[in-house]
A and B are shown apart, each in its own frame.
Chain A
Amino acid sequence: MSDNNKSPDMAEIQNLLNLEARYLNSADFDKWISLYTEDGIYWMPLDSEQTDPEAHDSIFYEDRTLMEVRKRNFDHQLSPSMQYPVRSSRIISDVHLHKYETDSDTYIINSSFQAVLFYKEQTVYAGNYQHHLQVTDSGYKIKLKRVDLLNADMPLPPIMIYI
């Protein structure tokens, strides 16, 4: 397949990652979910060595169903933990093509990030993102976003929004 050397449109990918960060910064879950494929997954492992989300525990491993539930839970008036403002801001850098998987026509994009979450107090999260992107009729869509926190295996406060 000549696709082997298919080079991605890095400008468009950079734009997608920025949009994703912007939607989360403004807690706009509808727009955020629309960036994912129907079977898209958001995954935050407990351990950066982890390769199989079904064999080990994870901090997050959520499909569209859970994204939809979380959207409805966010800011829910009956939730005690949601009575406080949840504010966040993300910076992404070093966005680059890790590899192209011919079989699944997937671009694997690595980047590093810093996210500041304000929930009762200000907390900095940092680490690496890995986005598995598929080309669809409406451009690149996220099939999997893996978030490896620097301190995933350390004691953590509640993480009130996707990082």
Chain B
Amino acid sequence: MSLSIDEIQQLVEPARVHSSVYVDEELFQLEMERIWGRSWIYVGHESQVKNPGDYYTTSIGTYPVILIRDAKSKSLHVLHNRCGHRGAIVTQRQCGNAGVLRCPYHGWTYKTDGSIHAIPHVGGYKDTEFDKNDEEFSMKKLPRVEVYRGFVFACLSEDVEDLSDFLGEIADTIDNMCDRSPEGEVEVTGLNCHRFIHPCNWKFFLENLHDAMHPMCAHAGTSDAVRSYLSTMPEGTSPPPEAEIIDPFAGSYDFFDSMGVTGLDKGHGYMGGKKSIFSHYEMYPEYLEAMYSAYGKERTEEILSFNRHNACCYPSSTIRDGIQSIRVLRPVSVDSTIIESWTFRLKGAPEKLLQRTLRYSRLINSPGSMVGPDDLDCYYRIQESAKSKSIEWIDLQRYFGQDIKDDDKDTAPGTSDLAIRNQYKAWLNYMSREA
């Protein structure tokens, strides 16, 4: 690697960032090592691997991994999805169930904890340095795996704080999503999710999460289309259920300013808190009833008054407590990222809530949605400018120098660039640590 720490540090200033962070191949490789290789990365949800032997294949940064439930102990493991023999990827299936994992090249088999089960014609290794119990020949376990209320995170490096310390206040968002279930638990709505190809650097997606200056502009076409259709409906007709979802995308600058934005340690952050784009959603009486009987009135009101938008768990995911979804970043290369969108069912809640969650997902996050492609196209435009070098520095100074500091967090009016500046503070911390 030729980039020195000093050179890297020159790419990020307090209120602007150099455009090479989006296009430089070497920086991308360093990000995979120093950010994605050293922080807790969201892998999947326990409900994707309910039964012993269930597995789900995914990636951490650019490393293929497999989330698997131990066939005997039923505990969860995250393994490198590659054979300890010649390094072939062991399974290319998206998900499945297996008592043992078998590499299709030479037939080495592994137990669900990654240790070697059997090797064909093993005599050939007699009097060599091969050792069946040596971890090097196994499907290696990731050194750190922790589960927070069903959400599984793993780290490629041993040297990382405990998950709850890493999550900090982001844990409150996971708690709130689960607490919105009368049973206190969520489960995935299917073994498939949206997988939306973003031909741009992974950071654009995170930077847009708390960019409250764009919805009223970039999504004006969609909100105008909704308004224009509503105006053709006879007076007194109740608006379609899609309206409550699209409406806030045309929210005013004042609306988003009043939501506020918060930057936390490690690049995390969120918009809202008490108020978000979900806080005006219709409250279904049958849901309230289920919540009251589970938690009582006071606690229910406390749970439902918590409203954050796009809690960012830097660098791998963003969680929406109010609509029960998580979006997961899968960086492919410096200019290609897959954004997965998973939806969750609140156990014990009426189906109407799930239907709203799915409606939101289709309208906003599906590759077939009208809203998602507009966001994506905006990132793509900056990616192209950065690639052509027609822009050198990218500005981040809305409300710069006016953050309200409180211990480990900073807050600002919602349309501040605070969240992006905060992400680059974390980026710089991670990237300034050599191996």
Chain A positions within 8 Å of B, measured between CB atoms, are: 44, 46-47, 50, 54-61, 65-66, 68-73, 76-83, 153-160
Contact = CB atoms under 8 A, between A and B. Distances in A.
B365 to A, nearest CB: 9
Nearest to A73: B225
A163 B307 CA distance: 37
Contacts of A46: 190, 192-194
Contacts of B197: 155-157
22 contacts: A50-B190, A56-B192, A57-B189, A57-B341, A57-B343, A57-B366, A59-B194, A59-B362, A59-B367, A61-B362, A69-B222, A70-B370, A72-B224, A76-B225, A80-B381, A81-B373, A83-B377, A155-B195, A155-B197, A156-B195, A157-B199, A159-B368
A55 B225 contact: no
Question: Which of under 10, 10 to 19, 20 to 34, or 35 or more describes the interface residues of B?
Answer: 35 or more
A15 B66 CA distance: 49
Contacts of B51: none
The 4 closest A-B pairs by CB, nearest first: A79-B221, A76-B221, A72-B225, A158-B373
A66 B240 CA distance: 9
A79 to B, nearest CB: 3
Contact of A56 (B190, B221, B372, B376): B190
Contacts of B41: none
A35 to B, nearest CB: 19
Contacts of A157: 197, 199, 367
Contact of B242 (A56, A65, A77): A65
A50 B370 CA distance: 23
B361 interface: yes
B362 A72 contact: no
A80 B351 CA distance: 35
Interface in B166-201: 189-197, 199
Given A60-B362, A79-B222, A156-B367, 12 more contacts: A57-B192, A58-B366, A59-B366, A59-B367, A65-B240, A69-B226, A70-B370, A81-B373, A81-B377, A155-B338, A156-B196, A157-B197
Interface string B205-245: 00000000000011011101110110010000000101000
A123 to B, nearest CB: 10
A58 B368 CA distance: 9
Nearest to A152: B192
Nearest to B365: A57
B94 A153 contact: yes
Nearest to B325: A57
Contacts of B377: 80-81, 83
Contact of B366 (A60, A69, A70, A71): A60
Contacts of B160: none
A54 B367 CA distance: 18
Contacts of B83: none
Nearest to A75: B221
Nearest to A161: B368
B354 interface: yes
Contact of B373 (A60, A78, A160): A160
B372 A158 contact: yes
Given A77-B221, A79-B222, A57 B370 contact: no
A158 B362 CA distance: 12
A81 B378 CA distance: 8
B358 A54 contact: yes
B355 interface: yes
B374 interface: yes
**Most central of B199, B221, B232 by chain A CB within 10 Å:** B221
A153 to B, nearest CB: 5
Contacts of A155: 195-197, 338
B199 to A, nearest CB: 8
Contacts of B370: 69-70, 73, 79
B221 A68 contact: no
A73 B226 CA distance: 8
Given A57-B190, A80-B378, A159 B362 contact: no
B195 A58 contact: no
B193 A55 contact: no
Nearest to B246: A69
B189 A55 contact: yes
Contacts of B368: 44, 59-60, 158-159
Given A47-B192, A153-B192, A156-B195, A57 B362 contact: yes
Contacts of A80: 218, 374, 377-378, 381
Contacts of A153: 94, 192, 195
B190 A72 contact: no
Among A44, A56, A58, A80, chain B packs the most CB atoms within 10 A around the CB of A80
Contacts of A47: 190-192
A65 B338 CA distance: 30
Nearest to B196: A156
A153 B194 CA distance: 7
Contacts of A55: 189, 354
B229 to A, nearest CB: 5
Contacts of B225: 69-73, 76
Contacts of B355: 54
A71 B222 CA distance: 10
Contacts of A76: 221-222, 224-225
B311 to A, nearest CB: 20
